[in-house]
Amino acid sequence: MAYDMKKTLLSIFLVFGVLLFSSCSEKSAAGGTSESVPVRRSASAETSEKAGGEEFSMKLYIDGKAVPVIWEENDSVNELMKLARDGLIVDMSMYGGFEQVGKLGSFISSADLQMTTRPGDIVLYSGNSIVVFYGSNSWSYTKLGRLDLSKEEIVDLLSEKDVVIELKME
């Protein structure tokens, strides 16, 4: 009887230990927070291959001006790149005094996380809208990338009027 009790208790502790260990591993793998951590894409990750072996990458233009972007490496950006193959033009509108928002015209995958945005963040909202921030906001978004400009340049570019963004694969 005592042997069966020890065996049962040992089994319970073993199962508890496995559950505890797997829970800690998942939290560590996820970073332990719900904040989105920027990921700088490698040159090979932000480029694709054209027919003939040439490479091209997704470029962002705001009112016709080329703007440097550090793109995230995720499914949403990959799908956005597919939409941009023939050029994608999005009419943006100022909203809330801190962002420009525009409809993509179709839905793409999203993996929304609660985050606090910063000036220059580019996010996907509701799976079909692109948002470029010149201020800050806390909400649930899918991070797409970040403008590689100073805060002053971002505010000057986005805070005065509605803009048009264009995404192209070049």
Mean pLDDT of 30-38: 32
- Average pLDDT in the chain: 79
pLDDT in tens, 95-107: 999 999 999 999 9
Mean pLDDT of 51-76: 86
pLDDT (0 to 100) of residue 139: 97
Cα-Cα-Cα-Cα dihedral sign, residues 87, 93, 96, 99:
positive
pLDDT (0 to 100) of residue 27: 32
Q: Is the pLDDT of residue 120 over 70?
A: yes
pLDDT (0 to 100) of residue 75: 97
As a whole-number percent, the residues of the chain with pLDDT over 90 amount to: 66
Domain 47-169 matching CATH 2.40.100.20: the answer reads yes
Cα-Cα-Cα-Cα dihedral sign, residues 158, 163, 168, 170:
negative
pLDDT (0 to 100) of residue 164: 98
Neighbours of 164 (CB within 10 A): 14
